[in-house]
Amino acid sequence: MKTSQMFFPTQREIPRDAELISHQMLVRGGFVKSVAAGVYSYLPLGWRVHEKISQIVRDEVKLFGAQELHMPVLVPRELLDESGRSSVPVLFALKDKNQRDFFLGFTHEEVVTDIVRSTVNSWKQMPLYLYQIQTKLRDEPRPRGGLIRGREFTMFDGYSFDSNEGDLDAIYRENYRAYERIFTRCGLKYLAVEADPGAIGGSENHEFMILTESGEDTVLRCDSCGYAANAERAEIPPSDVSDRPDLLVQDLVSTPGAHTVEEVCAFLKVSPQQLIKTIICTASDGTVVAGLVRGDRELNLPKFSRAVGIGALELADPATVVRVTNAPVGFAGPVELGVSVYVDLELKAGGNFVVGANAADAHLLNVTPCHNFEVTGWADIRTAVAGDSCPRCAGGILGDARGIEVGHIFKLGTKYSKDMNALFQNDKGEKYPVIMGCYGLGVSRTMAAAIEAHNDANGIAWPISIAPFEVAIIIANMKDEAQTTAAKDLYSSLKQAGVDALLEDRDERPGVKFKDIDLIGIPIQVVVGKALAEGAVEIGIRGSAEGRQRVAVETAASYVRNLVQSEKDKLQAS
């Protein structure tokens, strides 16, 4: 490709709405253009990167027999009603001319299960793995970071179908290893962590994270055994309960206007560790429950939902809080509350806590679980933080880091096949639900994460495997016939050798060309300029401290080919 013929709309200004480096550089480099909040057009450079990532994904999953298909974006409501997911908040909903309800596909478990239940009926037809790379749409309330969290994005979604748990375990491991190879080939340092399954459901699952300060997820890692989990999922071992204090008499005190943890602690001159937060939550069926955590902790809704076992829980609205507690928000407490009360395991240690009194401007002192109020259940329901003990090994401490989720794999089991009656017949003629797994990888998000991990003050520094071009040949002076002839000859030689080369042949000042090539991140750069008078060109790797090396024109093509292969080999070895 020649830049003189390429749609190449770079810009110097940083977009005002772009906070993340990847968002800024994708726009400035002419990779994407915003259409609406969270919706982007991929321009030619951006699509080249997108397709290179997609091809790496295809290469790796085909190694274990994955078969590609393509499912519709438009999904009839009836399918999601079968699985109970038609009320998921991020769904885009619409009606056709006959007033039939449809959704825009946010993921495709129901659609692919519908395909399989109508065509697969015997254990002999499995294992089966189907996948697609397709546009997904989610009505994100706060799209952010360009391609990091958009309303429209591209995702690889794979689905496995098996007749037994052993085969599911095997394909899960195959997919896990494929993801390791994919992110390695993309030049990304990743961390696989235990995670919450969210709306997808299922049992065992892992997220693949790219660690970067701009990440929107918190990852916790043990400094001893290597345990790693998303903070939403990280387990916390039970506290030592051997050192309980002598229990004091419960006491009602007035706390006028003090309804936050900070205000109550300041008024009563106690630490947040001595206060219990009583958090009222509701389930989709209207059931109200309370979760109790220490004053300096956060209630973890996914954990709490699993502990209670009545579906996804949400924070109750103020009207519900007032109805249940007979008090304004901020004064809820567990004593004589009248709903089920679940208490975080950490509160088994200690006693004589401060709690809300279920009355305006009042709190209770010296309250201890099981002594002053009935506990429905004890559970790990708080969000883990750095400094917590490792749940897997003795003596390990969790540290934190920020990460961008780029992949997520799940063992679904029979969650969808049972609800949707996707059955198979075994070798004894017995019918059972198909055992499923699903595997997601954000192609567009991987593209953005790569920039977050690989950039400098001058622009993007793409790993060579996913760069829009592997090599840029820059003609310093277009009016110099010798330079243009030598550059075009080198360009032709590289193209014939299968090197993905870009010829920078625009009639622009050299400084403009160098800035643009650095901005769009071409990893290997060849300058055909003044050195040509001495029979040489200058070749270097973008951002390398070694600078450019002079190479004879006659050997430049083979030198570049070897350099391209060397950079690819480094990725495989990393």
Same domain, 109 and 196: yes
> Of 418, 452, 486, which one is at a domain's C-terminal end?
452
Same domain, 334 and 256: yes
Report the share of the chain in percent with pLDDT over 90.
85
- List, for residues 455-514, the tens digit of each pLDDT value: 999 999 999 999 999 999 999 999 999 999 999 999 999 999 999 999 999 999 999 999
What's the DSSP call for residue 522? -
Q: Which domain holds residue 148?
A: 13-234+400-452
Answer yes or no: is pLDDT of 194 > 90: no
Same domain, 441 and 526: no
Look over the chain and give the mean of its residue pLDDT values, rounded to a whole number. Answer: 94
pLDDT band at residue 202 using 50, 70 and 90 as cut-offs: low
Answer yes or no: is pLDDT of 7 > 90: yes
Residue 165 CA to residue 139 CA, distance in Å, equals: 35
Residue 152 CA to residue 137 CA, distance in Å, equals: 5
Same domain, 255 and 322: yes
Same domain, 346 and 203: no
The amino acid at residue 111 is V
pTM: 0.88
Answer yes or no: is pLDDT of 398 > 60: yes
Among the listed residues 70, 112, 290, 126, the one whose alpha carbon sits nearest the alpha carbon of residue 200: 112
Residue 104 domain-assigned (yes or no): yes
3-state secondary structure of 200: coil
Instruction: Assess contact for 391 and 225: CB atoms under 8 A.
Output: no
Residues 197-223 have a mean pLDDT of 83
Same domain, 418 and 339: no
> Of 389, 417, 452, which one is at a domain's C-terminal end?
452
In three-state form (DSSP H/G/I as H, E/B as E, the rest C), the secondary structure along 146-158 is: CCCECCEEEEEEE
Tokens 């020649």 sit at which residue? Answer: 2
Write the CATH number for 34.
3.30.930.10
pLDDT band at residue 19 using 50, 70 and 90 as cut-offs: confident
pLDDT of residue 196: 75
Residue 460 domain-assigned (yes or no): no
Secondary structure element (H or E) that encloses residue 515, with its range: helix 510-520
pLDDT band at residue 415 using 50, 70 and 90 as cut-offs: very high
Same domain, 554 and 434: no
According to DSSP, the β-strands at 524-528 and 536-541 are: antiparallel
- List, for residues 149-166, the tens digit of each pLDDT value: 999 999 999 999 999 999
Neighbouring CB atoms inside 10 A of 298's CB total 15
Instruction: Assess contact for 10 and 28: CB atoms under 8 A.
Output: yes
Residue 459 domain-assigned (yes or no): no
Same domain, 162 and 61: yes
Instruction: For the chain, give the number of residues.
Output: 574
Answer yes or no: is pLDDT of 267 > 60: yes
pLDDT of residue 203: 67
Same domain, 91 and 149: yes
Residue 242 domain-assigned (yes or no): no
Residue 8 domain-assigned (yes or no): no
> Of 452, 487, 512, which one is at a domain's C-terminal end?
452
Among the listed residues 47, 175, 161, the one whose alpha carbon sits nearest the alpha carbon of residue 109: 161
Residue 176 domain-assigned (yes or no): yes
- List, for residues 288-300, the tens digit of each pLDDT value: 999 999 999 999 9
- List, for residues 484-501, the tens digit of each pLDDT value: 999 999 999 999 999 999
Residue 292 domain-assigned (yes or no): yes
Same domain, 109 and 230: yes
The amino acid at residue 572 is Q
Residue 43 domain-assigned (yes or no): yes
Same domain, 173 and 266: no
pLDDT of residue 246: 87
pLDDT of residue 500: 97
Cα-only R_g, the chain: 29
Same domain, 23 and 125: yes
Answer yes or no: is pLDDT of 147 > 80: yes
Q: Hey, what are 405's tokens?
A: 């989720």
Tokens 């098996």 sit at which residue? Answer: 162
- β-bridge partners, 424: 432
How many domains, in total, are found in the chain? 3
- List, for residues 337-391, the tens digit of each pLDDT value: 999 999 999 999 889 999 999 999 999 999 999 999 999 999 999 999 999 999 9
pLDDT of residue 4: 93
pLDDT of residue 99: 96
- List, for residues 227-260, the tens digit of each pLDDT value: 999 888 898 988 766 667 889 999 999 999 998 9
Write the CATH number for 372.
3.90.960.10
